Amino acid sequence: MTTEYTVPDTVPAGWTGSPHFRGAPAKGVSADVARHLDNVMPALESLRSQADRLSAWGAELAVRLLAGQRLLVAGNGGSAAEAQHLTAELVGRFDDERAPFSAIALHAETSAVTAISNDYGYEELFARQVRAHGRAGDVLLLLSTSGHSPNLLNAVRAATERGITTWALTGPGPNPLAAACHEAITVDALAANAQEGHLIAVHAVCRAFDAEVARRQSVMQGHAREDGLGNNGSNRSRSLRSGSRRDALEATPPGGATQ
């Protein structure tokens, strides 16, 4: 027999003012919070074991976005918020001042989201946008604590059709989304703590991204200085050669013979 529960749409009037709910919270509440905080540690350790991949993702993003490619990201619910956090860091900035880079959160345009969901179904929400915005060589990053969201799995298929690299940031693996993408980082923790780990992962990728952008810009500036010095040296040599020819011509009397 299934027990049915009635969940009110709003908090009943006077509920919070009831004498039964006044006073300090129950002691068990602080224990719940401590347990939640303890459960963050497995998420952090899981990410630490995948630090090399986080670093590689940041560096690869720098290479592609500097070359004019684009990052597309998507997620549902809290994962949508984490995805949009990443695009804000790239279009805006993370730490130091730098150029803006192209990054689009596919869930953020409400008119497109509602139109596509209404006309094609929620499962096609991200796939259709991938087909619209994605180009070969772009990166699609999908965030999900479950790794089972149909709209994200459909987005992977659309990206694969177009030669777009797919990355997944999920909760515990294995899961269908991680398996479908080219690469994945799976956070071995409870759903809420995995999602908190996703924000740490986003910031770690941004840290690696900014470091690689700065390194490549430094190399390019070094080459530009070398080219400038080389051009100045060449100009000076040409000037010296021209000066020597002028001196020789001035030292040669008309008729060409030395008198």
SS3 166: strand
Instruction: State the average pLDDT for the chain.
Output: 86
Greatest Cα pair distance, the chain, in angstroms, is 126
Q: What is the pTM of this model?
A: 0.78
Average confidence (pLDDT) over 231-247: 49
SS3 percent helix, strand, coil of the chain, rounded to 5, is 60, 10, 30
Is residue 11's pLDDT more than 80? Answer: no
Euclidean distance between the first and final Cα of the chain, in Å? Answer: 126
Is residue 237's pLDDT more than 70? Answer: no
Among 150, 199, 195, 157, residue whose Cα is nearest residue 175: 150
Kindly state the DSSP code that residue 142 receives in the 8-state scheme: E
**What pLDDT score does 247 carry?**
46
**What pLDDT score does 34 carry?**
93
Average confidence (pLDDT) over 41-46: 96
CA distance 112 to 114: 6
Confidence of residue 1 (pLDDT cuts 50, 70, 90): low
Location of structure tokens 């780990």:
197
Confidence of residue 180 (pLDDT cuts 50, 70, 90): very high
Is residue 222's pLDDT more than 90? Answer: no
Residue type present at position 123: E
**What pLDDT score does 148 carry?**
98
Q: 112 burial class (0-12, 13-18, 19+ CB within 10 angstroms)?
A: middle
What tens digit of pLDDT does each residue of 80-90 get?
A: 999 999 999 99
Distances (CA, A) of 204 to 101, 102, 200, 254: 17, 19, 6, 77
What tens digit of pLDDT does each residue of 168-179 get?
A: 999 999 999 999
The superfamily in CATH containing domain 45-215 is Glucose-6-phosphate isomerase like protein; domain 1 (3.40.50.10490)
Contact between 186 and 158 (Cβ < 8 Å): no
SS3 89: helix
